[in-house]
Structure formats: C-alpha cells, structure tokens
Structure 1
Amino acid sequence: MAKVLLGVCGGIAAYKTPELARLLRKAGHEVDVVLTEAAAKLVAPAALAAVTGRPVRSSMWEGVESGRMDHIDLAASAERVIVAPATADFLARAAAGRASDLLSACLLVTRAPLLLAPAMNTCMWEHPFTRRNVAALSALPNVRWVGPEAGELACGWEGPGRMADPATIVAALERMSKRDLEGRSLLVTAGPTREPLDPVRYLGNRSSGRMGQALAEAAARRGAKVTLVRGPVDLPPPGSGVKLVEVTTTEEMRREVLARWRKVNAVVMAAAVADWRAAHVAPQKLKRTGETTTLELRANPDILAELGRRRGDARRPLLVGFCVETADLAEAARAKLAAKRCDLLVANLAQEALGLPTARVEIHRPGKKPLGPFEGPKADVAENILDVVAPLL
C-alpha cells in the first residue's frame, strides 16, 4: 500500500488520531506521524509510536546533529499526506505558504496528494478568513478535503466543524488511491474560450477552468492517459500524467478536439466555450463614438453536439457533456442530454460554480434519474464524476 505521512494539529479532535493511525495500519499503509507543538499536549506521542511502530516527530531540530533533514526526508518519501485535525491556525499558515514548524515545512516539500480533515468551532470554520484560506488551498491540484461534519462539537456548539470520523478519513484516502482508469485514455476540455472583438477586447465568460483541470488530474492519478485541451486560464500547468494543449478561441478548441476524439475511451467536455463570436474583428481598437454601439455576432460551432452527431449510434467513445444554467437546471439538462446525444451530462448553476473553487452538480443519464447532487471543492466533485464515468469505460 502507500507510505502515509499523518500530520496532527492542536485541536481537541487530536485524541482520535491513534485510532486513525491504527486503521491506516490495518489497511496496510506505512504511517509516519508529525505532531505540531500544540498537538503533543493533547495526544501522547508514545501512543502514536506504539500504534504505528515508528518514531513520532514534532520538531525541526530533531536529528540535525546527524545531518538529518526530516522535513525533506519525510515529505519526499510520502505517497499520501493526511492532516487531521487540520485547525484554523494550520489552514491559515498552509494557505500563506509558511514553514514555521515541521508539519508546515513538510507541506511545502511534498507533491503527494494531500487530504485535509478540518476541525474547529463553527464560527471559526465559517469566518471569512477561513473561507478564504480554504479557497486558496482548494485551488492547489493535490489538495482534497474530508469534512468537517456537522453535529455537536467539543465546545458544546452545534454545527459544522467536527472532524470526520477516522473510518471516513481512511475511506477518503482509499478513494485517492484508486487506479480504476488504468489502460484508459481521456480527452478533457477546460476553461473558457475567448473571441476577439478587436486587438484589445474579447467576448468571454467567468469560467476558471478548475473543474476541467481537476478532472484531468484526477483521471491521471487513477491511471488514465489524459490530454487536457485548455482555454486561457489563470492556473498552473496540470500535474504529471496530463498532456496540456492550450487554445484561445472556440474554433481552436474544436480543431484540437476533432483531431483527437476518435483515439480515446472518453471525451469529457468541461469547457465553457463561447457560444458567439464577432462577425467582423476590428483590426484596430474600437473607439467610443457615442452612447451606444452595435455588435454583429455569429454563432460558434457547438463542439459537443458535433461530437454527438459524428459518433452516431456507435456510443464510443463515451461522451460526457457539461451545462451551466441560471435557472430551471433539471429541465435544461434533460433537453441538452437528448439534443447533444451525450451519455452523461453534468449540470450546475452558474452561481454555484463559475469562478468558484467549489461546485454543486447533478449528473443526468438517458432514461434514468439524475445522480447527486455532488457538492464540495471541485477536486472532490471531480472524483465523484469519475466514480460515475469509470464503470462505463
């Protein structure tokens, strides 16, 4: 199984971590534990050492006389990282990229999938600063979340903030280790497209590309060979195992998709392409000449519908479409599922997805009830979508 680095922060939920470590060992994982200074006051290092069979570390200064660099060695060897409980203070430090203790330094070194299990008071979890930190961490390609759960908290409050049960955390880790797309190939589109009006302006939309990129990266982790055709976005390059093709306009995306779609097992059209383009692109910047102006627009090709037509009755490759609406989501999704001849249609409301690190989606299927809703950080929702896609390939 995997080498797991378990980070424990100074929340009262730290008392659950010996059980978490025990379940990880039972599942066959090798577990190294790093405690923050506060965590060491709440859970006995000896208990965790006994459960894992390995030394527990908490200081940057341990072993320096012998030349050891624990923050490098532990993080570089870890294949999975869990932080449970992840306190508000830890999330703030992690989001800021600080390396003020051994655990936070390890996070700057590792490139392994990182599972965060938050635990804190409800007001702390809902505070704008914490929401900002969660959003910043959610934008990282290797970050996943489990919890927090709602219920009675140690402080006596009721609400979200309770750390997920150890068994739930282990189950979330196992999902991160899936290889159910081994030997499969996927073509994924992501982001917006931009249609120029003049050398300065363009028609576009608020798509961030996060969902499409999360799908591509998750599929690669699950063993697939992935090509990501991505519009102009403010995102880092995708993780290892994903071939990136960058485009700007809808026609450019269409050309790249049509060159590849017959060679893959599934096409996942997560991009929010521009439906319209300027009938005439001005060679110079358009000047303001009055209070109103008129733009003549022409319809762009519908790439998803074209794939459905070209595929015909072959039903291969699997065709997964996306739609975003502002109202009447279910009705619009059913209509588009039929019109575009998709196998699956992932539907969401603009106000719950566009430009956000989180999403809430339903997955519509021909002749069946929709699945979901699936809600949470886009990296987690991407896993939910692939859980539906994988058995169909």
Structure 2
Amino acid sequence: MDKPKVVLGVSGGIAAYKACELLRRLTESGHDVRVVPTASALNFVGEATWSALSGHPAVTQVWESVHEVPHVRIGQEADLVVVAPATADMLAKAAHGLADDLLTNTLLTARCPVVFAPAMHTEMWENQATQENVATLRRRGAVVIEPAVGRLTGVDTGKGRLPDPGEIFEVCRRVLARGTHSADLAGRHVVISAGGTREPLDPVRYLGNRSSGRQGYALARTAVARGARVTLVAANSELADPAGADVVRVGTAVQLREAVLKAAADADAVVMAAAVADFRPAHYATGKIKKKDGEEPAPVELVRNPDVLAELSAGRARPGQVVVGFAAETDDVLANGRAKLARKGCDLLVVNEVGEDRTFGSTENEAVVLAADGSATEVPHGPKEALADVVWDLVAGRLG
C-alpha cells in the first residue's frame, strides 16, 4: 500500500526546532512526509535538516522545480497538511487566502484535512485579530489546536507554547484516520472529566480507585482531532496533557464538581468519564492516624459525595446540551446500566464491566452505549480511542 502523504508546513517561530520531533514520529510510523518550510523557518532550522529527516528536498518558493508545478501538486497529492508551528502571521495568511510562498500555495490547493498547531506569545494569541483568524479557519473545517500553557521565549510564561510534538502526532493520526469527516465537532465546546477522585482521610491516606484516566484522555484527544474546543477536568492522572485541550486539575469529588459545572456553563456536551467517589470520610484527621498496640482502628464514617452526573442532567446549562455518563459495573452490567441511565437522566450512558484486570489502566476497552431513547450501541473490544469515536459519533448526531 502507498504510504499516507503528509505535508509538514513549518513557519518562522522559535518552536520550529520541535517540528523535527514531529517529523521523526510521522516518518517512523510509516508516513511519507514532505516538509515545506517558510523562508523565515529556515532561520531556525536549516534546509539540510528537513531534507535529511524527510528524504525529500525542502523548498520554500514556487520558483524551484517549476516543471513539477509544486505549488499545486504538493497540496493536491496530500492526505494531510499539518502546520507546526503556525505563527500568527501564518494563521493570518491562511485565513485570508494569501499565497506568497510554497506553503501558503499548498494550503490553498489542499483538499485534504488541515491541522494548525499555533505557537506564539500570549498577547499575540489573545489578540482579537488572531482569534478571528482562528475562528475563520475552524469555520472552514480546519483543525486549529489550542496552544499549551508554559514557558515561552525568554522569561515569559503563558498560553502560546507549542503542544508536545508527540501529542500533535496523536492529533494528526486521528485526523488521518477519519479523513475528510474529521472536523464534525468544529465550533463545539465539550467538557470531559477523566481519572479518579481521591478523598483524604488524613495527610497521607485517601479513599480512591483504580482509574488511570486513559478513557477520558482518549475522549479529549479524539474531540480535539474532530475540531472541538476541549476542556479536560483531570482527577489525579499522570498522563501527558492532550494537545489542544485546556486541562483543569482536581483532586476530590467536590473539586471535580466545581470545575465541571463551571466549564459546562457554555458547553455543547459534557462527558463524565471520571471515576468519581460516591463517598468521602465524614471527618478529616489533621494528623496521621496512628495505630495503637492492642486496639482496633476506629471505624471510618462515610458521607455521600454530590452526584455530579445527575446534577448536570437535571440542570442543563444551555438548551440542547448533551450529557454523557459512564457506568463501571462488576455484575448485571446491562441491567444496572439501564437502571442508572434512568436514575441519572443523562442522554447516553457508557456501560462497561470492570475489575482488577479489566479496563482500569488498560489501553483497550469494550462497552455498550445506552441511550435515553432506548437504543444500544455495542462497541467491541479495542483501543479506547475507538470507543471515544463512537461516543462522539452519537453525541454529534444529537447535537444536530
């Protein structure tokens, strides 16, 4: 089979050096990559580096190899165009259809999915002109990944950092898998909870669960690849932040409730994939609880945590908001799932069987997605990303 053809556009920002890692991941995973840098990008990484790593000449202007008509052919033949980093200048040119070099010409001739990974200073990203350019590109079906928060050029810190190249690669992989239908969540804001809450008993102990957050993170990655603006409320997960997601870190069920309700105020869909503790200790010991010789420990009194899923379903922040829950069951899986769906009042409930060696911490999952209208969608055993895509398919259908 022919290798998927990827065009890696590199614009003139200091983060250009990170694109070398993205190029390596793309080529090593079996993609045929053509690097198209801007002239400014070559001030940061030279042509020899791009050519050596990709196996193709890296040219910037339409006047080179004119007989091959590169300004048309490269875009026509591509299965994916990804621009990383995408500077404010490049986003403006792409939004306004300018074509003054090979990369901007390629963007105009491409009929495949296009991904932009912006990188710039916070002030430039937040400028109204940049935000309008981003909105224009998203409206046309491009996937514009939200930049990360972190150290920028010099001593500055803020939003505008290029996301981790490995995470950009994951977005590209998902976009390629979906093809021209990749941006069906463009213009939508989705909120996802992931991980497992921990309820403190004393300064060193807590009540927790086995959730790793992998399913919630898979939901976030696939939503980004489908064009959504993603808020990920992550409870005690050690996974790398998904590229393009705004990550809010929480610890307890009460903290998760506060973060989810705040983010859900303008969300089109909320997916509660986190394993939220049903109970918490009624009393928190300010010092470590000591064991005493000859004495049994005092019983731990528990109180109920707020039911975040039921609260979201009962008081939807906006008309048409789709609410999705998860039910981890150990027995009578479907019967318990249907009862929970009715009790919680959500639109969809993802029901799966869990155990010490099932689902938690695994990269794979299987489930049945129950709907309030009585339908059921079986998802066979496979990668958690596959389940995530099924969930978003069902959500997208309900969003109209």
Kept in 1, the 8 Å contact 2:379–2:387? The answer is no
Query: What is aligned with 1:174?
Result: 178
What per-residue deviation string (whole Å, max 9, x for no partner) do you get for residues 150-169 of structure 1? Answer: xxxxxxxxxxxxxxxxxxxx
1:220 aligns with 2:224: yes
For 1:363, give the aligned amino acid.
V
Displacement of 1:385: 1.6
CA offsets 1:183-221 (integer angstroms, 9 cap, x no match) = 111011111111100000001000001111111121111
263 and 204 in structure 1: CA distance in 2 versus 1, 3 angstrom threshold: same
Q: Return the letter of the residue paired with 1:215.
A: L
Match of 2:63 in 1: none
1:296 corresponds to 2:296 = no
2:208 to 201, 204, 207: 204
Alignment equivalent of 1:354, drawn from 360, 372, 384: 360
- Alpha-carbon spacing, 1:141–1:322, altered in 2? closer, same or farther (3 Å): farther
CA distance in 2, matches of 1:230, 1:383: 20
Q: Distance in 1 between matches of 2:338 and 2:55?
A: 49
Q: Determine if contact 1:218/1:383 at 8 Å carries over to the other structure.
A: yes
Q: Paired residue for 1:67, among 48, 53, 58?
A: 48
Structure 2 distance, partners of 1:280, 1:35, is 55
Q: Provide the residue aligned with 1:248 in structure 2.
A: 251
Residues 262, 317 of structure 1: 8 Å contact kept: no
1:258 equivalent in structure 2: 261
CA distance in 2, matches of 1:270, 1:226: 14
SS of residue matched to 1:307: helix
How far is 1:172 from its partner? Answer: 7.2
Match of 1:364 among 370, 373, 376: 370
Q: Is residue 325–residue 349 contact of structure 1 (8 Å, CA) maintained in 2?
A: yes
C-alpha distance in structure 1 between counterparts of 2:194 and 2:215, whole Å: 7
Q: Distance in 1 between matches of 2:49 and 2:168?
A: 29
Partner Cα distance (1:215, 1:35) in 2: 25
Shift of 1:368: 2.5
Q: Conserved in 2, the CA contact under 8 Å of 1:374 and 1:384?
A: no
Q: 1:141 to 1:347 in 2, by over 3 A?
A: farther
Tell me by how many angstroms 1:257 deviates.
1.4
* Identity %, equivalent residues: 39
- 8 Å Cα contact 2:27/2:54 also seen in 1: no
Q: CA RMSD in A?
A: 4.0
Pairing 1:375–2:381 present? yes
* SS of residue paired to 2:202: coil
- Distance in 2 separating the partners of 1:367 and 1:320: 13
CA contact (8 A) 1:141 1:214 kept: no
Tell me how far 1:331 sits from its aligned partner.
Answer: 0.5
Query: What CA deviation, in whole Å up to 9, does each residue of 1:303-335 have, x standing for no partner?
Result: 0011122239x7631011111011111001111
What is the DSSP-based 3-state SS (H/G/I as helix, E as strand, rest coil) of the residue aligned with 1:223?
A: coil
2:315 paired with 1:310:
yes
CA positional deviation for 1:384: 2.1
Instruction: Report the alpha carbon displacement of residue 73 of structure 1 after superposing the two structures with TM.
Output: 4.4
Stretches of structure 2 lacking an aligned partner (at least 5 in a row): 9-22, 35-46, 59-73, 82-116, 118-165
Preserved contact between residue 250 and residue 300 of structure 1 (Cα < 8 Å): yes
Secondary structure in structure 2 of the residue aligned to 1:333:
helix
Counterpart Cα distance in 1 of 2:225 and 2:396: 13
Distance change (3 Å), C-alpha of 1:141 and 1:199 = farther
Tell me the distance in 1 between the aligned counterparts of 2:168 and 2:205. Answer: 30
| 1:360 partner letter | E
Change (3 A) 1:220 1:68: closer
Q: State the 1:68 CA deviation.
A: 4.4
- Determine the structure 2 residue equivalent to 1:231: 235
Query: In the alignment, is residue 385 of structure 1 matched against residue 388 of structure 2?
Result: no
Alignment partners' CA distance in 2, 1:307 and 1:71? 53
Q: Residues of 2 paired with 1:173 and 1:259: CA distance? A: 33
Higher mean C-alpha displacement, 363-372 vs 317-326? 363-372
3-state SS of paired residue (1:238): coil
Q: Is the 8 A contact 2:79 2:176 kept in 1?
A: no
Q: Secondary structure at the match of 2:365?
A: strand
Deviation at 1:227, TM superposition (A): 0.6
Is the CA contact 1:192–1:207 (under 8 Å) kept in the aligned structure 2? Answer: yes
Q: 1:171 to 1:311 in 2, by over 3 A?
A: closer
Shift of 1:360: 0.8
Counterpart residue identity of residue 187, structure 2: G
1:186/1:227 contact within 8 Å kept? yes
Provide the C-alpha distance between the structure 1 equivalents of 2:225 and 2:352, rounded to a whole number of angstroms: 25
Inter-partner Cα distance in structure 1 for 2:232 and 2:55: 32
Query: Residue by residue, what CA displacement relative to the aligned partner does 1:103-142 show, whole Å, maximum 9, x if unpaired?
Result: xxxxxxxx9xxxxxxxxxxxxxxxxxxxxxxxxxxx9785
> Given the superposition, is the C-alpha separation of residues 368 and 210 from structure 1 closer, same or farther in structure 2, using an over 3 Å criterion?
same
Q: Normalising to structure 1: TM-score of the pair? A: 0.59
The residue identity in structure 2 corresponding to 1:273 is V
1:375 to partner: Cα distance? 2.4
Taking structure 2 as the reference length, the TM-score comes to 0.58
**Would you say the 8 A contact 1:319–1:344 is kept in 2?**
yes
Note the 1:119-134 alignment, pairs <5 A: none
- Tell me what 2:341 maps to: 337
Secondary structure, in 3 states, of the residue corresponding to 1:305? Answer: helix
Match of 1:281 in 2: 284
SS in 1 for 2:334: helix
Q: Which runs of 5+ in 1 are unaligned?
A: 1-16, 40-47, 55-65, 82-110, 112-138, 147-169
Q: One-letter code of the match for 1:197?
A: L
Aligned AA (1:227) = T
